[in-house]
């Protein structure tokens, strides 16, 4: 039997969280949110449009979300300690969940402000100037959202991805509001202003629901995404292929995600006649190979003899008690 493939020296992975301080992007998001909020409030004050007010209220949640993102990213970046042996990465899920709840609150405020205008529409003042200001605010949000989305994907940060999704939803909200207010100015149909505000409320509710669902999945120790599980299986198959007659195999494979960090546990089945040193060398090579293919993966392995029936009695999550 030939020896398992020895991997080359690992190079820094582009997903390494330490490659770039992510908190700087949370600061950028917070500053952008404050500026955009000021612009949208100005547009509302100039026009009196409840649709523009609803857009500003939705942006108010961006401020709270960006502040929470900054706090949680700083917490998530802390190394493991005596009370948190697996690190603080899950703090990011609290940020996206908090942002989702803020969105629900914003939707309620929008409905509260817009509903009376459906029955008692109000004329708009200087709509053109208000729309120009809203368009500038939307452009700032779009640029920031695209940057956060790119960095969030690169560093697998659920906090930055959630912030980007929220900002992109805000962009579409602004576009819809601009179109609605423009139609009001062109047609004189004042009720369209309130109707557009209600449509904004529906849009932000959907965004909030998706953020909360994603956060809940992370807090419930969801398994790796399918593409990452496929990478794991490919690596395991490389080592299975070394043993032409099936000397090497794996079972009890379990994965979970914690923001950008990945955890996997599995049992390594080898011939009972192997020495401890030989089995240990195999496991070391396997873990090195995994670290090359997946960002921030922590593997927990358990070496077992493939020719012992007891090795197949503990594949489940709960180990059965022996009689």
In a shared domain, residues 95 and 57 = yes
Residues 6 or more apart whose Cβ sits within 8 Å of residue 3: 242
Q: Residue 321: inside a domain, yes or no?
A: no
Count: domains in the chain: 2
* Domain end call among 170, 199, 219: 219
In a shared domain, residues 31 and 170 = yes
In a shared domain, residues 212 and 235 = no
Whats the size of the chain, residue-wise? Answer: 323
In a shared domain, residues 235 and 209 = no
Q: Residue 12: inside a domain, yes or no?
A: no
Q: Residue 323: inside a domain, yes or no?
A: no
Q: Residue 257: inside a domain, yes or no?
A: yes
Q: Residue 9: inside a domain, yes or no?
A: no
In a shared domain, residues 210 and 236 = no
Helix, strand, coil share of the chain (percent; to 5): 65, 10, 25
Residues 6 or more apart whose Cβ sits within 8 Å of residue 220: none
**Average pLDDT by stretches of 10, the chain with 323 residues:** 41 40 80 89 83 76 75 73 70 72 75 70 71 88 89 77 77 78 79 75 76 74 83 89 71 81 88 89 90 84 86 70 59
In a shared domain, residues 198 and 279 = no
Question: For 306, which DSSP code?
Answer: T
What is the structure's pLDDT at 146? 92
What is the structure's pLDDT at 217? 73
Q: Residue 320: inside a domain, yes or no?
A: no
Domain of 271? 226-312
pTM score of the predicted model: 0.54
Q: Residue 42: inside a domain, yes or no?
A: yes
How many other CB atoms sit within 10 Å of the CB of residue 80? 11
* Domain end call among 175, 197, 219: 219
| Alpha carbon distance 235, 286 (integer Å) | 8
In a shared domain, residues 190 and 268 = no
What's the CATH code of the domain at 289?
3.30.70.1350
Q: Residue 181: inside a domain, yes or no?
A: yes
In a shared domain, residues 210 and 250 = no
In a shared domain, residues 230 and 201 = no
Residues 6 or more apart whose Cβ sits within 8 Å of residue 198: 110, 111, 114, 115, 118
Quickly tell me which residue has 């020895």 as its tokens: 6
Residue 86 has phi, psi (to 5 degrees) of -100, 15
Question: What's the token pair of residue 286?
Answer: 């396997």
Residue 149 CA from chain centroid, whole number: 10
In a shared domain, residues 213 and 235 = no
What is the structure's pLDDT at 177? 76
In a shared domain, residues 94 and 144 = yes
Question: What's the token pair of residue 309?
Answer: 């029936």
What's the CATH code of the domain at 118?
1.20.1510.10
Residue 142 CA from chain centroid, whole number: 18
| Alpha carbon distance 23, 15 (integer Å) | 15
| Alpha carbon distance 116, 298 (integer Å) | 55
In a shared domain, residues 174 and 53 = yes
* Domain end call among 155, 190, 219: 219
């Amino acid at each position: 039997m030939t020896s398992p493939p020895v991997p080359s020296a690992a190079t820094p992975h582009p997903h390494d969280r330490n490659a770039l301080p992510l908190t700087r992007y949370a600061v950028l998001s917070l500053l952008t949110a404050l500026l955009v909020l000021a612009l949208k409030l100005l547009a509302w004050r100039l026009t009196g449009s409840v649709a523009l007010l609803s857009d500003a209220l939705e942006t108010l949640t961006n401020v709270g979300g960006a502040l929470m993102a900054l706090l949680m990213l700083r917490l998530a970046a802390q190394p493991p300690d005596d009370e948190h042996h697996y690190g603080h990465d899950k703090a990011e899920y609290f940020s996206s969940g908090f942002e989702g709840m803020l969105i629900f609150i914003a939707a309620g405020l929008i409905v509260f402000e817009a509903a009376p205008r459906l029955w008692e529409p109000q004329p708009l003042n200087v709509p053109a100037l208000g729309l120009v200001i809203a368009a500038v605010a939307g452009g700032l949000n779009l640029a920031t959202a695209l940057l956060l989305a790119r960095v969030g994907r690169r560093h697998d940060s659920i906090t930055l991805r959630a912030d980007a999704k929220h900002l992109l939803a805000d962009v579409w909200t602004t576009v819809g509001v601009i179109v609605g207010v423009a139609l009001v100015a062109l047609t004189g149909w004042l009720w369209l202003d309130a109707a557009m505000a209600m449509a904004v409320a529906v849009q932000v509710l959907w965004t909030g629901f998706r953020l909360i669902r994603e956060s809940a999945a992370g807090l419930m120790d969801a398994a790796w995404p399918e593409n990452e599980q496929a990478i794991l299986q490919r690596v395991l198959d490389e080592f299975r292929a070394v043993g032409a007659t099936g000397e090497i195999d794996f079972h009890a494979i379990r994965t979970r995600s914690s923001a950008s960090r990945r955890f996997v546990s599995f049992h390594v089945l080898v011939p009972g006649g192997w020495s401890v040193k030989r089995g240990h060398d195999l496991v070391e090579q396997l873990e090195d190979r995994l670290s090359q293919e997946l960002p921030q993966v922590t593997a927990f392995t358990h070496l077992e003899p493939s020719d012992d029936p007891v090795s197949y009695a503990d594949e489940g999550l709960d180990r059965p008690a022996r009689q």
